[in-house]
Structure 1
């Protein structure tokens, strides 16, 4: 029943919601509201510090005692349906130091709670992240300006989540929608008959709906809010006194993509997000293992291992990217929790991680690989192609950063081997160590061998093939025939190239140490050339 967002001022809440739902009757508009709760006359009200209490089932003078109870609970404000005079309610609120909001009799409480919660969650997200587009109410107001119409944003269940504030004329359909009533059934039937709902749920196209004067309904534009193939909601724009702006349809398309990000973020509760923040902090080393273990009921002294998953293709459409991450996280959570009850799942960047506690070392590789294969296969069936990397077990929860680092290194190495979808650090350790050695050589010019640089320069200037020829020879452990076959050339041709390469560079391939250094430098030269 309660939310725990960061909070917003009552003034900001009234600016967003305001007429036709709420009116400030007593108290300061500058108090902070941190949550919303419903109070039924049959309920006992506990502590509600900073919350807005919606009093249902009691109106006017009957609600005076509930205003006092809300103030006693520590609430910031109370909302009551007032019929007629409000003097008793106002006096009770002022005497008890609580803000009083009066609500129109026609307003549905569940609709009002939904809209208020949307404003509060928008404030939470704006404070907790770099949500550059603000909340849904801000988005609705922006779209109203860009389209020259009156805007409402609905979820997939047709509940109004946000709407623009406008002095323009609004028709009966918009007024009833905001108040939480059903629209005219004859008009809704026409929308179904015209296929409007079907088009909104199945495409990204802007739908234009003709006015119907007989129902008091003006012309509308509408667009579905989507993430991939999933319908998340709808943005409606009602025409006012002026025609729609010339760029109204393109503005709607952009707004729908921004709204999709907001709606996806609001799918989880604040508590779930807090858990994911703890997991991400543990994996990044920002939050101590003792704190995470204490809050999530784990043993900090237990062993653990980290599994990491990454999509094979990066999705540049932001809503689709976030939906894909949600899908990966959900599948990983189901399988990881079935494998270990205390499994933790979180997201860092574009990767999803599972921290699996108390995995016996002798079970870590075969059992975890089996679970991971199920995860990858399930995601593949859902159309999300992923790669999975598994780190080494660590003795205590506080060392999962090391296991995560190994899992990341596995994924980085697998990105260069597209054919694999699952590997452990043991599977790719040699490739990973070689890659990191080459990175070290590349980052430190003082470690370069000028002889190999001379070969690479000769190839670039003369069009010779000394670097790949000599590299193939060393990869084949000096087997000329095998190396020549790999290069599709005659063995004598390769022998000639090797003699010319050593003459140009001065390399002494008979010295094992020089041969080892040369091999590494040639691998680096081939990578840079590629």
Structure 2
């Protein structure tokens, strides 16, 4: 559809989608998008005025150009529908968008699924192809943006018409549909140049043994990415949650699932409740991984956009790794729960793969930290705390992309010791406090960290060795320090590091 007139602006709210017939009195209410079938052009003017009078937000009409002034005068948004688009297909797409928006508008912090269109765009970036997500009636529910690389099958599918019958017959003959129904196999389909059809891969979207739809990837002028199959599998598992939501208007159960990880990490939800919802064994090993962007120079809106895209990418990788994996955004970070671990060593590989995809597709720096593998789901809060500790320890080391506690154990422990000093002024030396953050304090700290090597410390500070000797002497006088005492040296070094 194309917006021809929007007298109330583009922020006008759509609450529902209705189909109206010009021969009947429009059954529209405030907030409706009315799809006006059966009349085109000026013949639809009375119905447009009546829909506006009844408070409808927008009306969609074919051959709508002559109605532009009518819509402006009536105060209703006018959407032009292309002649070849089927009304039932347009209704399905519009209802899907509205239902998804309504279901996610009031979500609390939890696993962020976005909508089907966002998922399609994410998987397009990860596979390098053009994506369409279809239901079991082959109706396109969502698709990714595409340029001039769209073949005839994709063009006709998006417009709501059937693809070329010779090609569809080949798909049936090759058993493609049967393989899509049978499980999570990623099916490869060769191109057919004589039909104008490019190479594709596809996977069925399943809830248990029941197929809900299909995700198709059309290859463009460039080959699909190396990990396209794995990314497509993860996307299909996420798409299943969306399609379940579409089939069940009472989406409270799905919203609960989306909030499970956030509640468990915060200690508000018991592990047994989470295990029952995601179908995981609570007694099997699990781990938490945390991801964070390092883009402090970007605006808040840009960071939020990147964070949403990061959630989508990481969710796809996590779902491909383990069906019962959960992802959630908390406090500007993205956490992933990996339950039922059979190969703990693979967690690090998954983390590196997901982080590399995030960096590659967003073009922004990011880091990740892996929490320890715990015995069961009731201990994942400890894994989350460890992951946070590790992430804090590498925050000032942009060259480190992924780390676990074993990689930065000393930095973590020192950081937590300094945090205790910062939080409890009563265990700090007031005379040393006067040196923290000063030139004398920095010089004494450099001297202590160099084990008393004046030349090395002076070189680090870019000063003459005699200047450093003078500063160390003055710092000891002001702080009442005896550097021959190892306890005083140790405590002075800790307290002087509070500014770092």
TM-score, normalised by the number of residues in structure 2:
0.51
In the TM superposition, 1:57-76 aligns within 5 A as none
Q: Cα distance, 1:417 vs. partner?
A: 1.5
Residues 454 and 468, structure 2, Cα contact 8 Å, conserved in 1: yes
> Helix, strand or coil: the match of 1:389?
strand
**Distance in 2 between residues matched to 1:23 and 1:349, nearest whole Å:** 54
**Distance in 1 between residues matched to 2:108 and 2:319, nearest whole Å:** 28
In the TM superposition, 1:289-368 aligns within 5 A as 289-313=271-295, 316=299, 318=301, 321=303, 324-359=306-341, 364=344, 366-368=345-347
Query: Aligned residue for 1:398?
Result: 378
Q: Cα distance, 1:331 vs. partner?
A: 3.4
**Distance in 1 between residues matched to 2:242 and 2:279, nearest whole Å:** 21
In the TM superposition, 1:127-142 aligns within 5 A as 127-128=106-107
1:287 to 247, 266, 269: 269
1:370 aligns to 2:370 (yes or no): no
> Helix, strand or coil: the match of 2:492?
helix
Q: Cα distance, 1:337 vs. partner?
A: 4.3
**Distance in 1 between residues matched to 2:482 and 2:494, nearest whole Å:** 15
Q: Cα distance, 1:424 vs. partner?
A: 0.9
Q: Cα distance, 1:391 vs. partner?
A: 1.0
**Distance in 1 between residues matched to 2:318 and 2:393, nearest whole Å:** 24
**Distance in 2 between residues matched to 1:287 and 1:23, nearest whole Å:** 54
Q: Cα distance, 1:354 vs. partner?
A: 2.0
Query: Aligned residue for 1:440?
Result: 420
**Distance in 2 between residues matched to 1:317 and 1:22, nearest whole Å:** 47
Residues 276 and 347, structure 1, Cα contact 8 Å, conserved in 2: no
1:518 to 464, 472, 492: 492
Residues 288 and 370, structure 2, Cα contact 8 Å, conserved in 1: yes
Question: Which consecutive unaligned segments of at least 5 residues does structure 2 have?
Answer: 1-12, 30-84, 110-141, 146-158, 162-238, 246-250
**Distance in 2 between residues matched to 1:17 and 1:495, nearest whole Å:** 79
1:488 aligns to 2:478 (yes or no): no
Measured against aligned partners, the alpha-carbon deviations of 1:163-211 in whole angstroms (never above 9, x if no partner) come to xxxxxxxxxxxxxxxxx999xxxxxxxxxxxxxxxxxxxxxxxxxxxxx
Residues 21 and 107, structure 1, Cα contact 8 Å, conserved in 2: no
Measured against aligned partners, the alpha-carbon deviations of 1:110-151 in whole angstroms (never above 9, x if no partner) come to 444544555554443444459xxxxxxxxxxxxxxxxxxxxx
1:418 aligns to 2:398 (yes or no): yes
Please, which moves more after superposition, 466-475 or 16-25? 16-25
Tell which has more relative contact order, 1 or 2 (C-alpha 8 A, sep 6+).
2
> Helix, strand or coil: the match of 2:283?
coil
In the TM superposition, 1:96-245 aligns within 5 A as 108-116=87-95, 118-128=97-107
Describe the shift of the 1:274–1:316 C-alpha distance in structure 2 as closer, same or farther (beyond 3 A). farther
Question: Which consecutive unaligned segments of at least 5 residues does structure 1 have?
Answer: 1-12, 30-105, 131-154, 159-179, 183-264, 460-464
Describe the shift of the 1:470–1:343 C-alpha distance in structure 2 as closer, same or farther (beyond 3 A). same
In the TM superposition, 1:78-89 aligns within 5 A as none
Describe the shift of the 1:112–1:481 C-alpha distance in structure 2 as closer, same or farther (beyond 3 A). closer
Describe the shift of the 1:21–1:127 C-alpha distance in structure 2 as closer, same or farther (beyond 3 A). farther
CA radius of gyration, larger in: 1
> Helix, strand or coil: the match of 2:411?
helix
**Distance in 2 between residues matched to 1:477 and 1:329, nearest whole Å:** 45
Residues 107 and 255, structure 2, Cα contact 8 Å, conserved in 1: no
Query: Aligned residue for 2:430?
Result: 450
| Matched positions, count | 302
1:507 to 452, 475, 481: 481
Describe the shift of the 1:126–1:494 C-alpha distance in structure 2 as closer, same or farther (beyond 3 A). closer
**Distance in 2 between residues matched to 1:282 and 1:21, nearest whole Å:** 50
Q: Cα distance, 1:472 vs. partner?
A: 0.9
**Distance in 2 between residues matched to 1:14 and 1:428, nearest whole Å:** 51
TM-score, normalised by the number of residues in structure 1:
0.49
Residues 469 and 498, structure 1, Cα contact 8 Å, conserved in 2: yes
Note the aligned Cα RMSD (angstroms): 4.1
Q: Cα distance, 1:470 vs. partner?
A: 0.8
Residues 281 and 287, structure 1, Cα contact 8 Å, conserved in 2: yes
Q: Cα distance, 1:519 vs. partner?
A: 1.2
**Distance in 2 between residues matched to 1:330 and 1:309, nearest whole Å:** 12
Describe the shift of the 1:21–1:394 C-alpha distance in structure 2 as closer, same or farther (beyond 3 A). farther
Q: Cα distance, 1:397 vs. partner?
A: 0.7
Query: Aligned residue for 1:470?
Result: 444
Q: Cα distance, 1:423 vs. partner?
A: 1.0
Q: Cα distance, 1:514 vs. partner?
A: 1.9
**Distance in 2 between residues matched to 1:368 and 1:15, nearest whole Å:** 42
